[in-house]
């Protein structure tokens, strides 16, 4: 395995570690700083820890089975955002206001993943191809997903249809936990039995992979455990610093929690797949983000009412107000539109631009009427595309039927 820019990659690892140290010092010494400085220090620490986790997850595929690797990757993909959201859900048991923030962080992370993550992949692939091969038609540019990602799309379809029930009933409950955890279990069960993809580590992860087995395993475990502990340790002060900034400067706290917190947790993954896309691996890049969306849309959301009930010490519901219901409805609508776009196993550059423009439009006008307008536009656009291109309806039907057949076939074989 030949690794280029070895020293540069180790520098990246060193920089990620350095981002964690100041926050660790502040937290352990109980130093009192202004909310602005705390948000920067703890936000950068979460960014560094999330980067180390991502590299460790990639390197771990050298030493563990495919099914176990999938379980690790699924949990790690949501851990940085999970920690912040989990804190809000736990705190909501003693102060209902924190339920507001839990929904904000969850909806922000999910919309950011599609509105920026999915959207930029075809653009970066086009940009990379343009530099290598000269001009490429904007209309023809795009990313083709691998057939293996039909499973993720099928799970996303079911999860998205179910997600529309959440704003209708106005709460998150243990019923949602059972349904969404069940969907994630189906996804993990079927994914673990799929053929393993070719493993080609890049960047800092590759530096770890070329080490001899004992130090490689020690370093991989260390990059799992230490950043995970750091993220769990920093989630509370980071979340509280954002709320304090909102109160001190008269900024909508919901907006800060919704967009600033997910930026710190999502940035490493988006940057990593962006590099893959620039190198021409658009299918792998988009596929990784589709898988991440499945994790967030099932495992992350389902964990919120569970954490709330455990903190409460009783069975209860994480109730939502009208603002929260609007946000969940808009997030569900955006997901439905995105799923329809990739139902043909392709995301064109034009479609990516549309996803990005619509996402930015929501940020510019954060008022209820605009949120509903965007939500209904997403749904109307998705319906228009399906009626105009009925092959997408057939493709969705085939994905759902194939997934159900795989699940039944596997269970049937196990019973025999």
Tell me the domain boundaries of the chain. Answer: 6-415
pLDDT of 262 reads 82
pLDDT of 251 reads 84
Cα pseudo-dihedral 367, 372, 374, 376, rounded to 10: -170
pLDDT band of residue 137 (cuts 50, 70, 90) is low
Share of the chain above pLDDT 70, in %: 88
318-319 vs 171-172, strand pairing mode: antiparallel
Residue 274 — left, alpha, or beta (φ > 0 → left; ψ -120 to 50 → alpha)? Answer: alpha
Output the average pLDDT for the chain.
Answer: 85
Q: Express each pLDDT in 7-38 by its tens digit.
A: 788 888 999 999 999 999 999 898 889 999 99
Instruction: With beta carbons less than 8 A apart as the criterion, state whether 252 and 258 touch.
Output: no
pLDDT band of residue 357 (cuts 50, 70, 90) is very high
Return the structure tokens found at 295.
């994790």
Pick the residue with more confidence: 121 or 415? 121
In angstroms, how far apart are the furthest CA atoms of the chain? 64
- The DSSP letter of residue 134 is S
Listing DSSP states for 160-212 in one string gives: HHHHTHHHHHTEE-HHHHHHHHHHHHHHHHHHHTSPPPP----HHHHHHHTS-
pLDDT band of residue 175 (cuts 50, 70, 90) is very high
pLDDT band of residue 78 (cuts 50, 70, 90) is low
Instruction: With beta carbons less than 8 A apart as the criterion, state whether 162 and 180 touch.
Output: yes
Q: Express each pLDDT in 226-278 by its tens digit.
A: 888 888 888 889 888 988 998 888 888 888 888 887 877 777 778 777 877 87
C-alpha pair distances (Å), 385 with each of 43, 152, 185, 299, 382? 39, 20, 31, 29, 5
How many degrees, rounded to 5, is the angle at CA 134 between CA 132 and CA 136? 110
Query: How far is the C-alpha of 395 from the C-alpha of 277, rounded, in Å?
Result: 25
Most confident of 79-93, 176-190, 222-236, 255-269: 176-190
Classify burial at 231, counting beta carbons within 10 Å of its beta carbon; exposed 0-12, middle 13-18, buried 19 or more: buried
Listing DSSP states for 125-172 in one string gives: HHHHHHHHHS---TTT-EEEPPGGGHHHHHHHHHHHHHHTHHHHHTEE
Return the structure tokens found at 266.
């999502």
Tell me which architecture the domain covering 6-415 has in CATH: Up-down Bundle (1.20)
pLDDT of 351 reads 95
pLDDT at 1 over 50: no
pLDDT of 252 reads 85
**Which residues 6+ apart lie within 8 Å of 186 measured at CB?**
155, 403, 407
Query: How far is the C-alpha of 314 from the C-alpha of 116, rounded, in Å?
Result: 38
Return the structure tokens found at 155.
């799970």
- The DSSP letter of residue 344 is T
Q: Express each pLDDT in 392-405 by its tens digit.
A: 999 999 999 999 98
Least confident range of 124-133, 154-163, 251-260, 321-330: 124-133
């Amino acid at each position: 395995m030949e690794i280029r820019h070895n020293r540069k990659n180790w520098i990246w690892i060193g920089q990620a570690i350095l981002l964690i140290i100041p926050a660790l010092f502040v937290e352990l010494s109980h130093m009192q700083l202004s909310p602005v400085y705390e948000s920067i220090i703890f936000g950068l620490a979460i960014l560094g820890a999330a980067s180390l986790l991502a590299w460790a997850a990639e390197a771990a595929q050298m030493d563990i089975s495919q099914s176990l690797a999938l379980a690790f990757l699924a949990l790690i993909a949501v851990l940085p955002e999970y920690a912040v959201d989990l804190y809000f859900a736990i705190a909501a048991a003693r102060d209902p206001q924190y339920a507001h923030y839990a929904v904000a962080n969850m909806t922000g992370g999910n919309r950011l993943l599609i509105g920026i993550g999915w959207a930029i992949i075809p653009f970066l692939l086009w940009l990379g191809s343009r530099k290598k091969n000269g001009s490429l038609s904007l209309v023809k540019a795009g990313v083709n997903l691998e057939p293996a990602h039909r499973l993720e799309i099928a799970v996303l379809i079911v999860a998205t249809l179910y997600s529309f029930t959440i704003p209708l009933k106005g709460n998150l409950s243990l019923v949602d936990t059972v349904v969404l955890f069940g969907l994630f279990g189906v996804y993990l069960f079927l994914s673990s039995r799929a053929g393993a993809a070719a493993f080609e580590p890049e960047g800092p992860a590759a530096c770890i992979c070329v080490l001899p087995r004992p130090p490689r395993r020690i370093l991989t475990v260390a990059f799992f455990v230490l950043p995970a502990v750091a993220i769990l340790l920093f989630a509370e002060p980071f979340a509280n610093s954002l709320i304090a900034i909102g109160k001190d400067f008269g900024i909508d706290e919901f907006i800060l929690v919704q967009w600033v917190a997910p930026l710190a947790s999502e940035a490493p993954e988006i940057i990593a797949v962006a590099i893959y896309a620039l190198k021409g691996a658009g299918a792998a890049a988009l596929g990784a983000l589709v898988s991440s969306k499945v994790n967030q849309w099932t495992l992350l959301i389902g964990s919120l009412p569970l954490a709330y009930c455990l903190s409460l010490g009783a069975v209860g519901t994480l109730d939502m107000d009208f603002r929260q219901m609007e946000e969940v409805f808009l997030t569900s609508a955006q997901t439905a539109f995105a799923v329809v776009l990739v139902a043909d196993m392709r995301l064109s550059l034009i479609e990516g631009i549309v996803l990005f423009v619509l996402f930015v439009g929501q940020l510019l006008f954060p008022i209820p009427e605009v949120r509903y307008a965007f939500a209904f536009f997403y749904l109307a656009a998705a319906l228009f595309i399906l009626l105009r291109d009925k092959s997408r309806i057939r493709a969705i039907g085939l994905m759902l039927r194939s997934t159900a057949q795989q699940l039944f076939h596997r269970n049937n074989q196990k019973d025999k």
